[in-house]
Amino acid sequence: MKTNIIVGSGIAGSVLARRLAEENNEQVLVVEKRKYIGGYCYDYRDENGILIHKHGPHIFRTESKKVWEFLSRFTDWEDYQHKVLTNVNGQFYPMPINLDTVNRFLGTNYTAENVDDYFNSHRTSPTEINCVKDVIESQIGSEFYHAFFEKYTEKQWGLPCEQLPPEIVARIPIRKNRDDRYFTHRYQALPKEGYTKMIQGILDHSNIHILLNTEYKTIKDSIDCKHIYYSGAIDEYYDYCYGKLPYRSVTFEFETYPIEQYQPVSVVNYPNNYDYTRITEFKHFYHIKTTNTVIAKEIPHADGDPSYPIPTNENKELYNKYAAIPNDNVTFIGRLGEYKYYSMDQIIEKMMEYEI
């Protein structure tokens, strides 16, 4: 029986591999260029006993019972409600913006009942919502936009907010209540033993074989395969024949401190100062007690391993040119293959619904 090839062992490739192996009883060869599985979800326990997310904070949340139940076959869960603070002018504020953020930033005493007075007198009324700036200013006005969003977004994406589409901040609400959770999804938790263990479980099937440390290009001519599912960057697959698709890359600067706690919550954002966007302190994810703590500062770049597709119209058009190249043998999947700013649960849901 001919094997399927899945390029990349991240969440998209792993879920699809499992389905092909389990539902269709097909052979699957997972080809992974790194020396570990999991793609950007990869985590490991360090010498301090802390689970480190090597490629930045991954907080699992979903509204989908189906997605939750699928993953629950492969992991137990650690209850975790993600909370983020943002540092503006040296003060910490809840993020997303809620009633407390508004009152502390303005020095006011608005309540859930009358905070609309502020919003209504400060929000703008653009005829169309075309960019990140429009989304935020039309909800809460320019003062909050400048202090909490403008510089963070420009640092993160390398473009002015006027050139970035609304979808980038669509996932960040503005709240009138005091809820300080980053997400309010029905299911929110972290895999008890980490993402790598969970993905190991997903890939643990007698029909699935994994090749680590292997660039797909080095083996592609030696295997007569049934179908290829490619979760790497689509422009790279086609040797950049229409030019490079812009992606945002992120460098993580890890630091260890001989202290119990570096910051009060797992993630603190730094919208206006420094070249990093946020600092993650990993021990908060699993509420563990250790004498040391490990943090990572996140610095966005234009070059490096592609991480975030930059969904401007121009880039989407270039992606569409690549996607239109006739190719019956290959299906492009995941954030890089589809050039979409997916969260983990969105990718899993898509892969679960995929016709195989």
State which of positions 212-271 bind ligand UDP (CB under 6 A).
Answer: 269, 271
Q: Does 152 bind ligand UDP (CB under 6 A)?
A: yes
When the beta carbons of 17 and 169 are compared against ligand UDP, the nearer one is 169
Structure tokens at 12: 């998209």
- Would you call 187 helix, strand, or coil by DSSP? strand
**Min separation Cβ 318 and ligand UDP, Å:** 21
Closest CA to 307 of 277, 333, 276, 339: 339
Residue 45: strand pairing partners: 51
Site size for ligand UDP (CB under 6 A): 13
* Only segment of 23-31, 163-171, 258-266, 283-291 that touches ligand UDP (CB under 6 A): 163-171
User: What is the closest distance, in whole angstroms, from the C-beta atom of residue 157 to ligand UDP in the complex?
Assistant: 6
What interhelical angle do 344-353 and 65-72 show, nearest 10? 90
**List of E strands, the chain:** 4-7, 28-31, 43-45, 51-53, 60-62, 77-79, 84-88, 91-95, 187-191, 208-211, 228-230, 247-257, 267-269, 278-281, 293-301, 308-309, 330-332
| β-sheet bridge partners, residue 229 | 6, 331
* Single residue of 21, 28, 67, 95 touching ligand UDP by CB under 6 A: 95
Nearer to ligand UDP among residue 168 and residue 336 (C-beta):
168
Select from 118-126, 149-157, 226-234, 288-296 the region that touches ligand UDP (CB under 6 A): 149-157
Is position 156 an interface residue for ligand UDP (rule: CB under 6 A)? yes
* Among the listed residues 4, 9, 27, 86, the single contact to ligand UDP using CB under 6 A: 86
Between residues 51 and 161, which has the closer beta carbon with respect to ligand UDP?
161
- If one asks whether residue 4 binds ligand UDP (CB under 6 A), the answer comes out as no
Q: From the CB of 342, what's the least distance to ligand UDP, in Å?
A: 10
Q: Which two tokens stand for residue 101?
A: 């953020």
Which of 153, 188, 207, 331 is close enough to bind ligand UDP by CB under 6 A?
153
Start-to-end Cα distance in the chain: 16
| 313 or 329: CB nearest ligand UDP | 313
CB of 308 to ligand UDP, least distance (A): 7
Please state, in angstroms and rounded to a whole number, the distance separating the CA atoms of residues 301 and 140. Answer: 29
Ramachandran quadrant class, 79 (left: phi over 0; alpha: psi -120 to 50; beta: rest): beta
Only one of the segments 33-41, 99-107, 145-153, 225-233 lies at the binding site for ligand UDP (rule: CB under 6 A); that segment is 145-153
Residue 84: beta bridge partners? Answer: 95, 267
Q: Angle, nearest 10°, between helix axes 11-23 and 344-353?
A: 30
Site string for ligand UDP, 10-49 (x = CB under 6 A): ----------------------------------------
Question: Which residues in this chain contact ligand UDP in the complex, by CB under 6 A?
Answer: 86, 95, 148-149, 152-153, 156, 168-169, 171-172, 269, 271
